[in-house]
Copies of this chain bind each other. A is one copy, B any other.
């Protein structure tokens, strides 16, 4: 049903251009011209109060006067007429809208209010709407051939579905793509994305075979959880490449003034895109250069690259680039080497990079490529050409493409270090492989193909559900919330962790000397003594943590000393008691926890703990909820992973148990969404067992949400 309405926008049989104009260099005129010039395969109805003929079409003074059925209304009237226009479209039975008109959310509060009304109408009338404040839409499919934009160049046909959050950019892109021999299947400038956004288009294109890859230019992600759900499914079928701008604080602030949407924290965006299998690009240049590879190459079977070159230097640079991007230089088989030696001159190198030397004629390119492509150790091939006496670039390119056509199963990319004339020629030809000027660009493109391979080969992760004591956590937090504390005590925090099956060290709370001693003796020395207080959150600053207490006598002394210190500082009153804790021995301190990004929601963190958290930043983030694979990748992706494996004779950590700790935390924050922060620092790796043991915990909730949620839990919605 939703797809049907989207079809009316992306694959319409008839279009009304409301605000069509005869005045040159206006949007109302440009849109009409482009619909005509690109030969829209359907009916075009210009609407203008003055009527007449516009770009050769009969104009109507009102959309309701149009005699035939109208699938799509492209609206370019002044912002103040847009709401009425939508009413008229409804009267006419139109379901698809593209609102080019600007002057809404991006202009401030007033505009945002009108945009709200606009969306309300769209919803009420069961319409779908692109924009407002956008460049328009296009579809190059021969059955449609719709260019309802006002960009400078006409589009060329291709396999890309493109969503741009910047309209202006869309126009520039059309120019660039032409030069790159890349084309759109469909393009949507979502503008203020009042209704239709990137996620809408992802879902729409999921099963549209005309769209073979999806490119996104985003300044914000509207619904990160939904984006993740859709993207992680779709990327298993076709690649999604995304350029997310507003990464820097200054950039985010510019993005915010620009589109009226808050740019989310970049590390959250990075985690989200990574978990969704989206290939992230950091410049338009790379976005398109790599899209070119997806347009022309199959997904490889592995990451082993062979380089064929007629010049040593570029071969070395290519080797550097391939190794630096994490791929492998293919080990050419002896059989292949022998064949190559049979026709290449003795000065040539048949080791990878295969250097045919400068004298290589076109036949050597052909024979070498034909030989190497059959090598079972080779997954991808880079062919490098530098101009030498008499050998013409375009001839080499054509020879290579011929062999590619006969051997379509392996990706081949060309590095042609030649004049721009060559690339101009290529851009006007049918090609079956991508050509680049520089080896580094080609290596990056291959790397992207390989990244897609890895993602597609990876199984979908599962979000495990553990048997936990949810009611216990509810009780603990309820108590804290009722007492007006958004910050749980250490004791409460550790209880929460234990209720979710997270290994925390043995402990007990003592409020007087007798209890202190009883606990110490039952846990066994050495123990740690930690104060727990409703008023003091940073315990170390007041000497509230004493470690390595080796005897009852020492415990007595330390307890007395603590009381004295607190008394002197006037902090005795908030003291709930002291926790007497098992002292876990270990020299590896990790950290894990939960942080909440205002836009992306709860994020899990894991990494090297202790004093290193802030300085070395050897930590990694993922959006919750975590799948088992997410947890596994988190643990492996920090540098400190090597420490966990057991460096210099330390006990190897229980990796599975640490992963489970992360998964249980993820379940916790999923069950109690109002948890704002949770830190386990340190998660100490036991020198004895290799377990990760929470020896400290800190939990903070968002009061208002917590109150609502707990109230709800207590009531009917508890079921």
With A166-B313, A254-B312 known to touch, is A171 a contact of B388 (CB < 8 Å)?
yes
Is A417 at the interface (CB under 8 A from chain B)?
yes
Q: Within residues 635 to 677 of chain A, which ones have a CB less than 8 A from any CB in chain B?
A: 639-640, 642-643, 647-650
Expressed in whole angstroms, the Cα–Cα distance for A58 and B508 within the complex equals 104
Are B316 and A219 within 8 A (Cβ)?
yes
Looking at the assembled complex, report how far the CB atom of A309 sits from the nearest CB atom of chain B, in whole angstroms: 9
> What chain B residues lie within 8 Å of A7 (beta carbons)?
none
With A254-B353, A440-B283, A616-B639 known to touch, is A172 a contact of B311 (CB < 8 Å)?
yes
Are A245 and B320 within 8 A (Cβ)?
yes
Looking at the assembled complex, report how far the CB atom of A120 sits from the nearest CB atom of chain B, in whole angstroms: 25
Are A647 and B320 within 8 A (Cβ)?
no
With A246-B320, A611-B648 known to touch, is A168 a contact of B358 (CB < 8 Å)?
yes
Expressed in whole angstroms, the Cα–Cα distance for A643 and B612 within the complex equals 8
Type the 1/0 row for A415-443, where 1 means its CB is closer than 8 Å to any CB of B: 00111100110010000000001111100
Expressed in whole angstroms, the Cα–Cα distance for A635 and B540 within the complex equals 28
Number of A residues near B (Cβ < 8 Å) is 96
Is A462 at the interface (CB under 8 A from chain B)?
no
Are A179 and B420 within 8 A (Cβ)?
yes
With A169-B314, A258-B316, A648-B611 known to touch, is A424 a contact of B417 (CB < 8 Å)?
no
Are A175 and B417 within 8 A (Cβ)?
yes
Are A319 and B386 within 8 A (Cβ)?
no
> What chain B residues lie within 8 Å of A640 (beta carbons)?
615-616
> What chain B residues lie within 8 Å of A642 (beta carbons)?
614-615
Q: Within residues 153 to 182 of chain A, which ones have a CB less than 8 A from any CB in chain B?
A: 153, 164-166, 168-169, 171-173, 175-176, 178-179
Expressed in whole angstroms, the Cα–Cα distance for A428 and B86 within the complex equals 51
Are A168 and B107 within 8 A (Cβ)?
no
Is A141 at the interface (CB under 8 A from chain B)?
no
Cross-chain contact of A172 among B150, B417, B427 (Cβ < 8 A)? B417
In this complex, what residue of B is CB-closest to A443?
Answer: B283
- Interface segment, one of A88-96, A223-231, A321-329, A406-414: A321-329
Is A587 at the interface (CB under 8 A from chain B)?
yes
Q: Within residues 589 to 619 of chain A, which ones have a CB less than 8 A from any CB in chain B?
A: 608, 611-612, 614-618
With A107-B347, A250-B329, A640-B616 known to touch, is A168 a contact of B25 (CB < 8 Å)?
no
> What chain B residues lie within 8 Å of A329 (beta carbons)?
250
> What chain B residues lie within 8 Å of A319 (beta carbons)?
248, 250-251, 254
Is A259 at the interface (CB under 8 A from chain B)?
yes
In this complex, what residue of B is CB-closest to A441?
Answer: B285
Is A217 at the interface (CB under 8 A from chain B)?
yes
In this complex, what residue of B is CB-closest to A135?
Answer: B358
> What chain B residues lie within 8 Å of A343 (beta carbons)?
none
Expressed in whole angstroms, the Cα–Cα distance for A608 and B612 within the complex equals 11
Looking at the assembled complex, report how far the CB atom of A681 sits from the nearest CB atom of chain B, in whole angstroms: 12
With A251-B320, A316-B219, A616-B608 known to touch, is A285 a contact of B390 (CB < 8 Å)?
no
With A283-B438, A284-B438 known to touch, is A316 a contact of B255 (CB < 8 Å)?
yes
Are A166 and B312 within 8 A (Cβ)?
yes
Cross-chain contact of A311 among B166, B320, B419 (Cβ < 8 A)? B166
Are A649 and B541 within 8 A (Cβ)?
yes
Expressed in whole angstroms, the Cα–Cα distance for A353 and B355 within the complex equals 48
Looking at the assembled complex, report how far the CB atom of A682 sits from the nearest CB atom of chain B, in whole angstroms: 13
With A152-B387, A258-B315, A313-B166 known to touch, is A437 a contact of B323 (CB < 8 Å)?
no
With A353-B254, A616-B616, A639-B616 known to touch, is A245 a contact of B313 (CB < 8 Å)?
yes
Q: Within residues 431 to 470 of chain A, which ones have a CB less than 8 A from any CB in chain B?
A: 437-441
20 contacts between A and B (CB under 8 A): A153-B419, A168-B358, A169-B314, A172-B314, A173-B417, A179-B419, A246-B320, A250-B320, A251-B319, A254-B315, A258-B355, A259-B312, A283-B438, A284-B417, A284-B438, A540-B648, A611-B650, A615-B643, A616-B618, A616-B640
Minimum-distance CB pairs A-B, first 5: A166-B313, A248-B323, A168-B311, A172-B417, A258-B312
New A-B pairs, 18, CB < 8 Å, besides A179-B419, A284-B317: A25-B390, A168-B358, A179-B420, A219-B316, A246-B320, A248-B323, A250-B320, A251-B319, A251-B320, A254-B316, A254-B319, A257-B351, A258-B316, A259-B312, A420-B420, A587-B611, A611-B648, A615-B643
